Amino acid sequence: MVVTKTVLGLDLGSHSLKAVELRSGLRGLEPLQVRMQEASGASQDDALGDTIRQFIDRHDLSTENTSCALSGQRTSNRRLEFPFRDRKKLAQAIPFEIEGAMPFDFDDLVVDWQLVAGERNHGVVAASVAQKQDVSDFLETMEAAGCSPRVLEAEGLVLGNLAAVFDLPGIRLLADLGHRKTTVCLCVDGQPVAGRTVPVGGMAISEAIAKAGNIDLEEAERLKYETALFDADDAATHAGALAVVDRIARELVRSLESLDPSAGSMTTHPDCEIVLMGGTAKLTGIEAYLEARIGVPTRRIRLPEDPEKAALLAGGDPLLLAPALALAIRSTGQTLSHFNFRQDEFSFRSNYAWLLGPQLRPTLGLALTCLILTGVSGAVSLQLEASRARSLERQMAHRYSLLFPNQTVPSQPLAALAQEVTSARERANFLGLYGGNLSALDLLTLLSERIPQDLTLKFDEVSIDQNVIRIKVAAQNYEAQDRLENVLKAEPVFANADVTGSAKRLKDGSVTFGLSIPLAQSDENL
């Protein structure tokens, strides 16, 4: 049984690659390493695969338990309600609901779902849908990178796993303000219930700055973080950039309204809060600007107060690494999301080549040594047992020759001795050895001695078995039978003898009767 395992959350952002590696064990989660690398210029699948491979090799990241997320621009998230919550019924009903709402052939889709709320007669399901071609393309890219993810999550919903580490009570809209897109996840009481992705992010802000200042995009990217975009005095100068942020604000409002599992809008809920993360969340003053625009308390994500939980990011920036941490948690027992597009033909197949890796080579060497020693020990034990058996055979052959000097020693003397003992026991039982060392022959001798000389009896038939001596007796008359009975009663050893069996009178006046003497004697008769 595996007690600990190493898990890797790999966030494949359009601007940078982020990785969080943890060790999951009986004591909980332990940090191993967090890594980041720019991914600019790796937009093509081949180039991205090479970039990922180099990233993994450079930092020696473990890829046996890797979790990734399919871009939210390649998935469709649905919130479905049913008049039941039985999982078997839901599994049958969800495909029909999805098929009617999607403009694609259902056979070309991968669907996964999670029950997020409901009562006895009401179930609320968060479903995520992706096209098989998109899943296949993503997995091919990862295979080219030498990293086949065990879990392929739905981007957005996986952010809900942050509730296992960060303090996210009540209603929280987690917003990952990325480079090309903004991904949100709605959490209610620490449980992810819905998610969506909108195609607007930090790059659109950089493009607006570049256009307004007539500068290149790289310079605009630098100015974006150095300039006070949200200063009211410079609002006219940065109108284009602010318009992009306003669009993000509107999308966050739509998310709170469209993802609301209740009847009303969450923007007015007293316990609602927006939590920002991602590279664009590093813009100075963006949280205050969004809060003023939306009317909902807004803050950047910050490290938890618990030192052990805070250590999971190993000193890294939670704004940038929170999505990768959420993916890493997905492969542990603390996960809150359970989506995985690796189904059916895309199911994960383990690659055991990692067993030959440098970390396990000493263990494999010790295991092989133990196996060899076990084999040698077994062979030596067999040799010793065979030697003992041959010694016993010689001893038994010698004993047999002493007991039966006139017989040839058989090939299996022990079995021959057992047969002789059994034969002797059968003969002894047949002769009826019992208390007082009297045999059946001794009983007949004693019987002959006790019969008076003037009592003429003739024993016509005598039979002896293991339990009784039976004698057919011929006498002159019934008086002789009575006298024999009195003689036997006078001798304790014959106390249970019976002389009344099958008495007949013959034509010449003589009589015949049966005499039975039991061989099983009680202690009183011995």
Kindly give the pairing relationship between strand 298-300 and strand 272-277.
Answer: parallel
**Whether residue 44 has pLDDT greater than 80:** no
pLDDT for 257 equals 82
Tens of pLDDT, residue by residue over 2-21, are: 568 999 999 998 888 999 99
Q: Closest Cα to residue 473, out of 431, 511, 416, 423?
A: 511
**Whether residue 134 has pLDDT greater than 80:** yes
> Cβ neighbours of residue 101 under 8 Å, at least 6 residues apart?
78
> For the ranges 182-196, 434-448, 485-499, which has the lowest average pLDDT?
434-448
Residue 261 or residue 423, greater confidence: 423
Backbone φ and ψ of 242, nearest 5°: -65, -35
Tokens read off for 131: 């096209």
End-to-end CA distance of the chain: 69
Kindly give the pairing relationship between strand 468-475 and strand 511-518.
Answer: antiparallel
Tens of pLDDT, residue by residue over 279-295, are: 999 999 999 999 999 99
The 3 state secondary structure assigned to 426-451 is HHHHHHCCEHHHECHHHHHHHHHHHC
Residue 172 or residue 417, greater confidence: 172
- Tell whether the torsion through CA atoms of 360, 361, 363 and 368 is positive or negative: positive
Confidence of residue 1 (pLDDT cuts 50, 70, 90): very low
Query: The whole model's pTM is what?
Result: 0.67
- Tell whether the torsion through CA atoms of 471, 476, 478 and 482 is positive or negative: negative
pLDDT for 201 equals 93
Q: Closest Cα to residue 293, out of 360, 242, 236, 350?
A: 242
Mean pLDDT, the chain, as a whole number?
Answer: 85
Dist. CA 499–CA 224, nearest whole Å: 129
Residue 300 or residue 433, greater confidence: 300
How many of the other CB atoms lie within 10 Å of CB of 252? 24
